[in-house]
Amino acid sequence: MISPPRQIFHKPWLWWLPFLALVLAVFLPSLGSSPIVVWQDEVQIVDYGRVMLDPGTDWAVSWSTHEHKPVPPVSYLGCIGAELAYRITGTVLGSRLFCIAGGFLLGSLVLGLMMQPGRPPVIGLLFAGLIVLDPGLVQSYRAGRLDAMAMAFVLAGALCLKYHARKPDWRWLVAASLALACAPYIWVRAAMSIPAALLPLVFAADVPTRKLLRIILALVALTAVIAALLLPPAWHGLQQAGTLAYSPLQVLGTIAANRGVDSLSLTLLRMLEDTLRCCGLAVPLLLLAAVGLATSFTGRRLPLLRKFLVALVVLATLLFQFKTTTALHHFTALYLVPLLVLLASWGMDSFAPGGFSGRRVRWLIAAMTLLLAYHGVATVDRSYDAWLDRASFSPEALQPVVKALPAAPKRLIVDDFRLYFLLRSSGFQPFYLFTQVDKATHEETLMPGLLVGGNTPMWATIFETQLRHPLVKQLPLGYRLVVPAPK
């Protein structure tokens, strides 16, 4: 059995586990009502898992009317986990607790990577705490997204490679390959973070350069084999995603060529605003990552080949960021976290060349402590506000709408994602149409009912006007059920 170095997992965990318990205690009272609405991503993730566990299903949230079947997922492992968590609890809390566990696992792995012999444990604890309470990550994992869980698998691979560099053992290499191969099947955007997992090997001075190259080749080959073995359930979804996806590079190219309403510079500015809004990372982390990147290319700490490998990792990460997004999606910025953490860990030694007892390090610890306290107070405040408004914003508040529905039709096109869990538990089959093809080529025989609320989207209005002599049933809370007149 492999046992990691004891000094990495000694006293810090006696502080870390109570910290996670405290954060969970703050989250729990408002978990059913915060975020204010059930996000589209959360509903799709859970229903993707249901489709994977029930491949013969004849309904799905993400339904393609022109192919007459569910839209298949790529990241099926994460979706199945969220669905199983929902089935265990029977409420939206299950999938959200599953994703919160991913956020806690991510922070724990950051702690393991930040701990080094001779480095004060408080530095790793503060960095890990800032990651767990980062506003962008909290917004993601509290809303049932799988970003944190997917990045945790990437950092798990990096930690295994760190142990392999210290004490070579083929089992660490296999464990790293398994974690990295699984990451995109947890959530596909994790592919952009995978190159960063190589940095612990690149920065390991004890590993000779020739041996480093052999380890990287073995890691790439083994990861590719495992990823190929995991591919069949995701193959159809990957093919469909390849035909629908487009990258920000294509969007920017179109704007530059056609000179649309938004200029190229304005679009780049909006991308930066999205990144800052989503990834409110601690300034100390960004500072140390910048120091780590700078010292990778300057000085004599790394030979030329390793500097080239660092540049290759950074470039690959940025390129993957463009290629794995389907739109100008600000959550993509979160996947820079593994790269920033690993660069910051490397930069820490350059930031404190005289040891960790100097004034510079004390100022860094003080700044991180204040920032962690600020994020902690903000988290408590947001949770308290959500708990006060739980009666208005919880999906359970829509229970009267579901109870007022007639027994038929069971299949309903729905525009409010908060209704998904209530409708599903009551025996209904909710559909949500996403693509323009779906919105234009509905089939009244397949989806005979339209359940809409106050903020009705344009496609629902068009759908309603296309029905011949529709029957409208008014429901509580301003909702209505629209069905075609019987023939």
Instruction: Output b/e per residue, 391-428; b: 16+ Cβ within 10 A.
Output: eebbbebbeebbeebeeebbbbbbbbbbbbbbbbeeeb
Assess whether the previous peptide bond of 409 is cis (omega < 30° from 0): yes
- Cα 344 from Cα 41, distance rounded (Å): 31
Residue 115's pLDDT is 84
With CA atoms as reference, report the closest residue to 416 among 462, 358, 375, 460. 460
Distances, alpha carbon 417 to alpha carbons 41, 331, 392, 468, in Å: 9, 19, 15, 27
Distance CA 374, CA 283 (A): 13
Predicted local confidence at residue 8, as pLDDT: 43
Domain boundaries, the chain: 6-30+72-249+279-387, 397-483
Q: Which residues of the chain have pLDDT under 70?
A: 1-10, 34-38, 65-66, 240-283, 321-330, 352-358, 433-448, 452-470, 485-487
Q: Determine which helix (DSSP H) or strand (DSSP E) holds 273, and give its type and residue range.
A: helix 264-278
* Cβ atoms within 10 Å of 5's Cβ, excluding its own: 13
471-474 and 480-483 beta bridge pairing: antiparallel
- From the list 451, 432, 454, 392, the residue with the least C-alpha distance to 43 is 432
The token pair at 351 is 């930031």
| Distance separating alpha carbons of residues 90 and 450, to the nearest angstrom | 25
pLDDT of the residue at 361: 76
List Cβ neighbours of 259 (8 Å cut-off, separation of 6 or more): none
DSSP per-residue letters across 354-386: T-TTSHHHHHHHHHHHHHHHHHHHHHHHHHHHH
Left (φ > 0), alpha (ψ -120 to 50) or beta: where does 118 sit? left
Cβ neighbour number for residue 140 with a 10 Å cutoff: 24
What is the per-residue pLDDT for 386?
Answer: 78
pLDDT at 322: 60
Strand, helix or coil at 22?
Answer: helix
Tokens at residue 59, please?
A: 């309904």
Rounded to whole angstroms, how far apart are CA atoms 372 and 369? Answer: 5
The answer to whether 360 touches 349, Cβ cutoff 8 Å, is no
Return d(Cα 296, Cα 304) in angstroms, integer. Answer: 10
Q: Are 320 and 192 in contact (CB under 8 A)?
A: yes
